[in-house]
Amino acid sequence: MGKTMQGTRKKIALGLGCILTIGALAGCGTSAGTAERTIVVSATGQASASPDMGYVTYQVVTESSGAQDAQQRNQEKSAAIAQAIIALGVEEKDLVTVDYHLGPDYQYVNNKQTLRAYVCRNTVTVTVREIDKMGAVMEAAVPDNGSQLQSVSFDVSDKTAAYTAALGDGAAKAKSKAEAMAAAGGVTLGEVVTLTDSVSYDPYPIYGATAKQELAADTAAGISAGDLTVTVQVSAVYRIR
């Protein structure tokens, strides 16, 4: 009985040894595939577009010895400016308050902090959908010293055409670069494996907070909107042979 069990164990062990050997041989028979040969390139494409709209951001500032009075004065002045802008043909929905602040303003007298006044600030951005109205809107936004321009910027309502042109420019430059690299390396350029892009828009001319009534007064003579530049970064992977 003992000899029979030992013989059986030897057979099982031998059988397992054969299975492991066969598995190892099968694994050794599988060859790893060769890595695909590619060229990776990137290029920048650009296209310009003329702005047809813009944004005017202004701030209405009022002060008073009381917080409620400062707020009330600000509401009245803000409403008057808004009505003047709406009268130019700008829709009410295109005037949006982007920041609002009401609080005390302190000063130091003889090294002692004292309340100077309560200050209320209402910052509004106007979307001007007709670019030829930009100057008039800027003038209406700063009728007196109670308000000031924060920024003026320009935009293109539909950037599709400019984006498409910039994308085509970037893709063509990427292919040209890949062809040059392939020729220099003594290989033949194959088909595209992947093609990706990222887009950005160059900033438009912007006037900062220092551009107050003086700038608004000059807008009757016109302001330069410049051109919007759409930039597309194209990355491409080509097979080579």
Q: For the structural domain made of 36-52+157-214+221-241, what CATH number should be given? A: 3.30.110.170
- Which residue's structure tokens are 């220099």? 184
Lowest mean pLDDT across 30-34, 107-111, 151-155: 30-34
Q: pLDDT tens-digit profile of 2-23?
A: 554 444 444 433 333 333 222 3
Domain spans, the chain: 36-52+157-214+221-241, 53-155
Would residue 186 be called left, alpha or beta, if left means φ above 0 and alpha means ψ between -120 and 50 degrees? left
Gap between the terminal Cα atoms of the chain: 69
Mean pLDDT (whole number) for 231-241: 96
| pLDDT mean across residues, the chain | 82
Instruction: Evaluate if residue 180 carries a pLDDT over 80.
Output: yes
Question: Could you give the percent of the chain with pLDDT greater than 90?
Answer: 69
Mean pLDDT (whole number) for 106-125: 94
Mean pLDDT (whole number) for 71-93: 97
Residue 154 DSSP code: E
The token pair at 116 is 């100077």
Cα dihedral across residues 205, 206, 210, 216: positive or negative: positive
CA angle 91, 92, 94 (to 5 degrees): 70
Q: Note whether 135 and 207 are within 8 A (CB).
A: no
Kindly indicate the confidence band of residue 220, based on its pLDDT and cuts at 50, 70 and 90.
very low
Mean pLDDT (whole number) for 144-167: 91
pLDDT of residue 35: 77
pLDDT of residue 24: 32
The token pair at 13 is 């062990």
Instruction: Evaluate if residue 151 carries a pLDDT over 70.
Output: yes
The token pair at 97 is 């308050």
Mean pLDDT (whole number) for 102-112: 93
Kindly indicate the confidence band of residue 218, based on its pLDDT and cuts at 50, 70 and 90.
very low
Q: Which CATH number fits domain 53-155: 3.40.50.1370, 3.30.70.2970, 3.40.50.300, 1.20.210.10?
A: 3.30.70.2970
- Within the chain, where are the H helices? 2-28, 67-86, 134-141, 160-185, 213-218
Q: Residue 158 CB: number of other CB atoms within 10 A?
A: 9
- Report which residue type is found at 168: G
Q: Note whether 91 and 137 are within 8 A (CB).
A: no
